[in-house]
Structure 1
């Protein structure tokens, strides 16, 4: 929300989204949001429910793609999900190359985009969306906030995907690369602090919470 105050493109994407999930402790502190839902929990719940009940009226399994992350974390997260939820089809997993602040690909276009001349040979067979055939039900995109929303806005109409969802650092958690905060810390709304201790480089991102509280305070005076 702090970024959306200055970035009109990002603000429009948030306002035009079919579903916006309150994923920040700051929103709860504002008093306008009763409960928050962590993106990683929402993502895994979708996969879990599809594994247990099926995804469509025909009870067909969910076809999922994972795009983003660094160092192959998308593929490791996909492996973990496939082991935990074997009925769900994880048919695509790829880092997606490098993305700039406007959501543009600046190095290596993801194979998922229609019309690309790149092959899927470097991807394991179970993860090649075009090799596997058909479209995806859900594409989880993890390029980091703002970048992922802008990438989705630019590319959703060009890819064989029914629903796309930005999930930030969810792949890090699902793959086991980053430890999640204990549940009592999450209940207290302090997971951001726990993650900051594990990943000090996130300090700039966490300063947004301070800015948000300042904006919130000024709006009430």
Structure 2
């Protein structure tokens, strides 16, 4: 297994891992967004609470959560390793450098964007994931749906999105995520060697549309509940 370890600890290997985990996390974002859009159904949160209960108690979903956490861990760790290697390879910047002419703003600031997203992720998990998994211990109120008691995560969402600074953090983080995805999506295909003059322009365009659409979908939720209060 020595060749395996050397391959995936190399710069190229780590880029491949980042690409695979990044695309996997993109699929998670789509699934998560679809579930969150049930907040707009207009049934006082019944559908969203049923969806949340299913996600919290289905054994397959719980197993996938472990895979998801590992995906995040590997993605973040490899990003840190690659950033350190890049700085070590070029400790002193070029005397004549025009980064705006050779790269996009998002590609030059992936570290900053990633940090913003990581901070938001910690806040978001603490505010929603912990109550959803620990129920009453996490401060959730209960709600009765068809004579069955459920945790009222919908109420938690509504209350959270009535706090202006939390809404602001959420929206700013979604903007950061959009820029992160715009660069990361096309870079993932490039790192995996899936580039072709015929298909690469489509991949880039699809990546931009995907990134903006998904992040807009997430951002519109707190904005809607804040102004609907």
- Mark yes or no: TM-score above 0.5: no
TM-score normalized by structure 1? Answer: 0.24
Higher relative contact order (CA 8 A, sep 6+): 2
Q: TM-score, normalised by structure 2?
A: 0.23
**Structure with more of its chain in strand, by fraction:** 1
Q: Which has the larger radius of gyration?
A: 2
